[in-house]
Amino acid sequence: MSSARRSGAGLLRRRRPPLPRPIVAALVAALAVLAGCGRDQPKQQPQPAPAPLRFEEASADPLRHGERIARVLGCRGCHGDDLKGYLWSDDPKDVLLYTSNLRRAVPAYSDAELERAIRGGVRRDGTPLWGMPSELFTDLDSADMAALVRYLRSLPAEGDEHPRPVFGPRARREIERGEWRPAPEEVRLGRGDGPPAVGGGHDWARYMIRATCSECHRLDLTGHEGRGSRRGVPDLIVAGAYSREQFRHLMRTGLPPGGRDLGLMKRVSIGRFAFLTPREVDAIYDYLEARAARPQ
């Protein structure tokens, strides 16, 4: 299985110690001005959730359904469009790192072993995965998990197997300081965390957001500040400044009001969020709007 993970659309994540909550008031105000007349739209009731909570079955074809889940969860962001993996980092001072060729790895796993790898970040031999965001997938519904596994098993075995990571001195120092942790440790630390409840029937959105948006914006959606050359990620309270139509456009194209380049968000929207159904996007918007309206 994978020993690496891109943050949403392809950036290797290093786990950093908790950072102060970012200051977003100015950004909210600016977006509110851009949102303008869109805020006059009538409120909609939260989208009714499937029971139990799971991604919507937009296709009667089970393989197409599983493929959509794989896209929404970001499998291609790490393992490539063909899911064969590739060389991620070849810096000997940092880490020699390949992403796993899922077409070769998956057939060697039983369904139970695959589920443990996805939810728990553990290989079939019991060793930990690195960079795999399993903490996002611990609450995936069993039907969503089964659809994902069914799709992965449908792919023909192609390409080369890739070696496991070799850590250089810089990566080892980060590991020793707890700045980069193996996937099972991230699962342990994130257990029970997730987007805060806001009432009003938004549990379906919280389910989807935990498995998607949380990868960049943290499990509690508060984001993080930039450090050095790293760009920060905002608290998702900023979504409260979008009208429904602006948010729909953002999720399809990655373009906010005004059309400025959001970098990673643009790539994630095109590669992942564009595959959410309209009902799923509206449910996520309803939740984020309700969260932004709470006293901060």
Tens of each residue's pLDDT in the chain, 296 residues: 544 434 444 444 554 444 344 433 333 333 333 334 444 444 566 666 666 799 999 889 999 999 999 999 999 998 999 999 988 889 989 999 888 999 999 999 999 999 999 999 999 999 999 989 999 999 999 999 999 999 999 999 999 999 999 999 999 999 999 999 999 999 999 998 999 999 889 999 999 999 999 999 999 999 987 665 457 899 999 999 999 999 999 999 999 999 898 999 999 999 999 999 999 999 999 999 999 998 86
Tokens of 144: 């969503």
Greatest alpha-carbon pair distance for the chain in Å reads: 57
| 174-194 pLDDT per residue, tens | 999 999 999 999 999 999 899
Do 148 and 54 form a contact (C-beta atoms < 8 A)?
no
Number of H helices, E strands in the chain: 13, 3
- How large is the angle between the packed helices 111-120 and 142-153, nearest 10 degrees? 120
**What pTM, to 2 d.p., does this model score?**
0.83
Contacts of 138 (CB under 8 A, 6+ apart): 119, 120, 187, 190, 191
Q: How far apart are CA 229 and CA 279, in angstroms?
A: 37
Tokens of 50: 């499937």
Q: Which strands form 166-167's sheet, in the order they lie side by side?
A: 87-91, 95-98, 166-167
- Paired with 97 in beta bridges are 89
Q: What's the mean pLDDT when you consider all of the chain?
A: 85
CA-closest candidate to residue 38, choices 239, 235, 174, 229 = 239
- Buried b / exposed e along 7-27 (16+ C-beta atoms within 10 A): bbbbbbbeeeeeeeebebeee
Residue 77, CA distances (Å) to 82, 184, 203 in order:
10, 20, 26
pLDDT of residue 232: 82
Contacts of 189 (CB under 8 A, 6+ apart): 135, 181
Q: Where are the domains of the chain?
A: 25-293
